[in-house]
Amino acid sequence: MRALGLDYQRSTRPFPWLGLAMLASALLALVLVGGYYHELGQRIELWESRVDHDERLAGHRARALRPVTPDAAREQALEVQHANQVLRQLSLPWDTLFKAVESSGGKDIALLSMEPDLRKGTVTISAEAKNFDAMLEYVRQLGKRDAFDSVLLQNHQVQQTDPQKPIRFSLLAVWKVGAP
């Protein structure tokens, strides 16, 4: 029997020219495709900018050529009214109003709701008091605040179904136009 010559650490391997050539051709193809991709991206940007420019010109021309119809004028007037209403809402001294309403009450008053009316410059406040004196004191305290011109008690009712018999009331407060 012959001895087998196994050499697992052979140091004289042939250089893989074929693999290196394939790698070089793949890199060259990648560079060419990448350049073409970049060129196509630039062309797309150019055409998109042209389309945007043409659409803007067409829009300006269409608006310039389109006569103002009564319906369009009415719609524009409604948009202006809505914008003015939003502006009035934003310009109200909300923080001052909330602080005045919250700081006037004590432990005997529970605020239920506040409903501002921007057109009239009023706010309707619904609350509940433990007793009649607490309700009157709240109305007095609210009337002393700088945020309001006047505070009027609109109605009050004793809650008979509740064992503590609180008084539910609503009042109308007119806020000052120049309130800080």
Spatial neighbors of 88 by CB under 8 A, at least 6 apart, are: 118
Q: Which of 155, 87, 77 is nearest to 118 (CA)?
A: 87
Phi first, then psi: give them for residue 76, nearest 5 degrees: -65, -40
The reported pLDDT for the residue numbered 10 is: 65
First to last CA, the chain: 112
- How many angstroms separate the CA atoms of 56 and 74, rounded? 25
The reported pLDDT for the residue numbered 144 is: 87
The reported pLDDT for the residue numbered 44 is: 94
User: Has residue 84 got a pLDDT over 90?
Assistant: no
Count other C-beta atoms under 10 Å from residue 164's C-beta.
7
Chain segment 91-102, per-residue pLDDT in tens = 666 777 778 878
| CATH numbers and ranges of domains, the chain | 93-175 (3.30.1360.100)
Chain segment 1-50, per-residue pLDDT in tens = 788 877 777 666 677 888 899 999 999 999 999 999 999 999 999 999 99
